[in-house]
A and B are shown apart, each in its own frame.
Chain A
Amino acid sequence: MKRIKSWTPGIIVLAISLGFLGCNKSKDSDNPKDGKTQTPLFTLLPAEKTKIDFANTLTEGLNTNVLMYEYFYNGGGVAAGDLNGDGLDDIYFTGNMVPNKLYLNKGQMAFEDITATAGVGGRERPWKTGVTLADVNGDGKLDIYVSYSGNVSPESLKGQLFINKGNDANGIPQFEESAEKYGLGAPSNSTQAAFFDFDKDGDMDMFLLNHNPKSLPILDEASTADILKKDDPLTGVRFFKNDPKADGTPYFTDITKKAGIQSSPLTYGLGIGIADVNQDGWQDMYISNDYSVPDFLYINNKNGTFTDALNASIGHTSHSSMGNDIADFNNDGLPDIFTLDMLPEDNRRQKLLAGLDNYELFDFNVKMGFHHQYMRNMLQLNQGQGGKSKVPVFSEVGQLSGVSNTDWSWASLFADYDNDGWKDLFITNGNLRDFTNMDFVKFMGDHLKRIEGQVKREDVLNMVYQMPSSNMKNYLFQNKKDLTFTNVADNWGLGEISNSGGAAYSDLDNDGDLDLIVNNINKPAFIYQNDGEKLLKNNYLKIKLEGDGANKFGIGAKVTIYNKGQKQYLEQMPTRGYQSSVSPVLHFGLGKENIDSLQIVWLSGKRESVINPKVNALLTLAEKNAKVVKPGMETANPLYNVVQSPIAYNGKASTTNDFKRQPLLINPISFSGPCLIKGDVNGDGLEDIFAGGGSGEAGKLYLQQKGGTFTSKPMPAFEADKQSDDTDAVFFDANGDGFQDLFVGSGGYATFMPEDPLLQSRLYLNDGKGNFSKSAGALPKMITSTSCVRVADVNGDNKPDLFVGGRVIPGRYPETPRSYVLINDGSGKFSDQTANLSAELANIGLVTDAAWTDLNGDKKPDLIVVGEWMPITVYINVNGKLENKTSTYFDKQYSGWWNKLLLTDLNGDGKDDLVIGNLGLNSQCKASDAEPVEMIYKDFDDNGSIDPIMSFYIQGKSYPYVTRDEMLDQMSIMRTRFQDYKTYADATVKEIFTADELEGAKELKANYLKTAYFEQGANGKFAERPLPFQSQISPVYTITAVDFDKDGNKDLLLCGNVSKARLRFGKYDANFGVLLKGNGKGGFAYIKQDRSGFNLKGDVRSVLPVGDKLLFGINQQEIKAYQIGKVQ
Chain B
Amino acid sequence: MIHDVTNPPLSARFFAYACLAGYEVVSQNDSAYKSMHGILNDYPQMTKPEVSTFSYQLSAVLAMLETAKKMQPSGALLQTYQAKLLDSCRNEGVSEEVIAGSQEYAVAISKQILKYAKADKYNLISNFPRYEPEKTPGTWYPTPPGYFPPVEPYFNTVRPFTLDSAAQFRPAPPVAFSEDKNSAFYKLMRLNYDDKKEPQHRVMAAFWDCNPFALENKGHLLVGMKKISPGAHWMGITNIACKQGKTDFSKTMLINASVAIGLMDGFMTCWEEKFRSNRIRPETAIRKYIDPTWTPFLQTPPFPEYLSGHSVISSSSAIILTHYFGAKFEYTDTVEERFGLKARKFPSFIAAAEESGMSRFYGGIHFMDAIENGQKQGVQVGEWVVKKLGE
Contacts and interface: CB of A to CB of B under 8 A. Distances in A.
A1122 B126 CA distance: 46
A603 B144 CA distance: 47
B284 interface: yes
B38 to A, nearest CB: 28
Contacts of A290: 219
A943 B225 contact: no
A451 to B, nearest CB: 5
A970 B340 CA distance: 36
- Give the interface centre of A448, A453, A979 by most chain B CB atoms within 10 Å: A453
Interface stretch (A16-24, A436-444, A545-553, A1025-1033): A436-444
B72 A976 contact: yes
Given A223-B292, A442-B224, A661-B129, A449 B340 contact: yes
Contacts of B127: 943-945
B3 interface: yes
B340 A222 contact: no
A451 B339 CA distance: 8
Given A222-B288, A441-B224, A455-B225, A943 B123 contact: yes
B224 A976 contact: no
B287 A943 contact: no
Interface in A321-370: 342, 356, 358, 360-361, 364
B293 to A, nearest CB: 7
Interface in B1-51: 2-5
A71 interface: yes
Nearest to B71: A976
Contacts of A226: 292-293
A1013 B288 CA distance: 54
A279 B247 CA distance: 85
B191 interface: no
A78 B144 CA distance: 38
Contacts of B203: 452
A722 B59 CA distance: 64
Interface residues of A, number: 63
A441 B127 CA distance: 28
A216 interface: yes
Given A660-B129, A945-B127, A452 B206 contact: yes
Contacts of B56: none
Interface stretch (B73-81, B160-168, B268-276): B73-81
B126 A945 contact: yes
B218 A215 contact: yes
A483 interface: no
Q: Which of B122, B206, B226 has the most CB of A within 10 A?
A: B226
Interface in B261-297: 283-284, 287-288, 292-293, 295
A309 B165 CA distance: 55
B171 interface: no
B202 interface: yes
Given A71-B219, A221-B288, A659 B130 contact: yes
Contacts of A969: 126
B132 A972 contact: no
Contacts of A215: 217-219
Nearest to A968: B73
A358 B124 contact: no
Interface string A940-977: 01111100000000000000000000001111110110
B225 A448 contact: yes
Interface in A709-739: none
Nearest to A437: B222
Nearest to A221: B288
B126 A446 contact: no
A242 B283 CA distance: 46
B130 A436 contact: no
Contacts of B135: 655
B85 interface: no
B340 A291 contact: no
Contacts of A448: 223, 225-226
A843 B360 CA distance: 56
Contacts of B72: 976
Given A218-B295, A226-B293, A70 B209 contact: no
A445 interface: yes
A463 interface: yes
Interface residues of B, number: 60
B344 interface: no
Interface in B118-164: 122-127, 129-133, 135, 141-145, 147-149
A452 B130 CA distance: 36
Contacts of B218: 66-67, 70, 215
Contact of B4 (A435, A460, A659, A975): A975
- Give the interface centre of B141, B144, B203 by most chain A CB atoms within 10 Å: B144
A943 B126 contact: yes
A1086 B329 CA distance: 83
A663 interface: yes
B343 interface: no
Contacts of A450: 206, 225, 339-341
A360 B130 contact: no
A816 interface: no
Nearest to B203: A452
Nearest to B127: A945
A1094 B4 CA distance: 52
A550 to B, nearest CB: 39
Interface in B213-240: 213, 215-226
A342 to B, nearest CB: 8
Contact of B287 (A223, A360, A464, A975): A223
B124 A943 contact: yes
B130 A944 contact: no
Nearest to A942: B123
Contacts of B147: 358, 360-361, 364
A823 to B, nearest CB: 38
B376 interface: no
B149 to A, nearest CB: 7
A71 B74 CA distance: 35
A70 B219 contact: yes
A219 interface: yes
Contacts of A500: none
A663 B72 CA distance: 24
A270 to B, nearest CB: 11
A220 interface: yes
Interface in B329-383: 339-341
Nearest to A367: B135
A155 to B, nearest CB: 24
A1016 interface: no
Given A215-B217, A223-B292, A360 B126 contact: no
Given A358-B142, A436-B220, A446-B2, 13 more contacts: A216-B219, A222-B287, A360-B141, A360-B142, A440-B223, A445-B224, A449-B340, A450-B340, A453-B298, A660-B129, A943-B124, A972-B122, A979-B76
27 contacts: A215-B218, A216-B219, A219-B144, A220-B143, A220-B288, A223-B287, A358-B149, A360-B142, A435-B220, A435-B221, A441-B222, A442-B5, A444-B223, A450-B341, A452-B202, A452-B340, A453-B341, A460-B223, A655-B132, A657-B132, A941-B126, A943-B124, A945-B126, A972-B125, A972-B126, A976-B74, A979-B3
